[in-house]
């Protein structure tokens, strides 16, 4: 495998995609889990399928369609949610089902069925192209920059919202920025694990890191490391077995989460490095 990395361009692309996806997924995943936005993430991810279908139908790059639909879904869900009360799950479900329905409709209108569409649904890290990497790099830099700029504000907003209000921080801006970050992250991860499995890669590493520490920056670091391990294992297994990489990544994530949970109960919580304070 390591020798092949120096010989095959597609493996080098896959490894670079692993690093990028780990960074952006690990950082944003912690915020998503802490803010309890996991289901909203799923709604945004599935809505993006409408953009993928539109891209295939009209003839432009499907990932651009996913990008547009993700942004519209994120801001749309946020806007409607703020204007109404008590129907958050219904709103998410409507965007979720509408995006999938539009994607199916657009693809159904095509003369034939594009085989590449399955990689957008279920992911295939071995099929990541140079164009995908360029887009992923741009979005990753953007996401990381925004998180670093607003890190202290995120910290206050996540753990002490009353303090955020007292300091007169623009919470609406923070919420809308978070929604845009969700959309960008979904686009970065689509080519790695696919639309259907994005929600798992964003939530499981972040949840595992929460078992180890309560400090925001450490949770983000651990989440990035866990994400890298999960995706890299999926890459290696997929390369040698031809199993779908997205499924292997999620299986690995769930298995290692269970292991970390068990170890945390018995050993890890006693180690000062993993203090919950």
CATH assignment of the domain containing 130: 1.10.3470.10
pLDDT digits (tens, 9 = 90+) for 116-145: 788 888 888 888 888 889 988 998 999 899
Q: What's the average model confidence in pLDDT over 8-30?
A: 89
* DSSP conformational letter for 110: S
* DSSP conformational letter for 125: G
**pLDDT at 6 (0 to 100):** 63
Task: Quote the domain boundaries for residue 119.
Answer: 2-274
Q: For the chain, what is the radius of gyration of the CA atoms?
A: 19
Taking 80 as the threshold, does the pLDDT of residue 253 lie above it? yes
Cα dihedral angle (170, 173, 174, 179), rounded to 10 degrees? 160
Q: In whole angstroms, what is the distance from residue 130 CA to residue 225 CA?
A: 24
Please give the model's pTM, rounded to 2 decimal places: 0.84
Report the domain count for the chain. Answer: 1
pLDDT-based confidence at residue 209 (cuts at 50, 70, 90): very high
Lowest model confidence (mean pLDDT) among 79-88, 94-103, 179-188 = 79-88
**pLDDT higher at 7 or 72:** 72
**Secondary element (H or E) of residue 256:** helix 245-266
Taking 80 as the threshold, does the pLDDT of residue 173 lie above it? no
Q: What's the average model confidence in pLDDT over 177-201?
A: 87
């Amino acid at each position: 495998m390591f020798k092949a990395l120096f010989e095959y361009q597609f493996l080098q692309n896959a490894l670079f995609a692993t690093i990028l996806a780990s960074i952006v997924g690990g950082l944003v995943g912690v915020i998503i889990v802490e803010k309890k936005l996991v289901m909203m993430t799923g709604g945004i991810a599935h809505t993006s399928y409408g953009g993928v279908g539109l891209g295939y139908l009209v003839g432009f790059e499907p990932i651009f369609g996913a990008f547009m639909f993700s942004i519209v879904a994120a801001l749309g869900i946020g806007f409607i949610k703020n204007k109404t009360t008590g129907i958050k799950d219904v709103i998410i479900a409507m965007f979720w089902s509408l995006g999938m329905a539009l994607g199916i409709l657009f693809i159904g209108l095509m003369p034939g069925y594009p085989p590449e569409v399955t990689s957008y649904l279920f992911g295939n890290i071995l099929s990541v192209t140079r164009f995908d990497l360029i887009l992923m790099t741009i979005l990753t830099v953007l996401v990381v920059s925004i998180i670093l700029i607003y890190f202290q504000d995120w910290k206050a907003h996540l753990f002490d919202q009353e303090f955020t209000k007292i300091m007169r921080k623009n919470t609406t801006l923070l919420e809308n920025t978070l929604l845009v970050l969700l959309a960008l992250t979904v686009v970065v991860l689509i080519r790695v694990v696919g639309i259907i499995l994005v929600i798992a890669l964003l939530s499981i590493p972040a949840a595992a890191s929460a078992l180890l520490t309560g400090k925001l920056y450490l949770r983000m670091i651990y989440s990035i490391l866990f994400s890298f391990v999960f995706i890299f294992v999926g890459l290696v297994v997929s390369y040698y077995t031809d199993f779908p990489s997205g499924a292997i990544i999620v299986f690995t994530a769930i298995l290692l989460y269970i292991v970390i949970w068990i170890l945390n109960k018995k050993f890890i919580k006693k180690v000062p490095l993993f203090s919950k304070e």
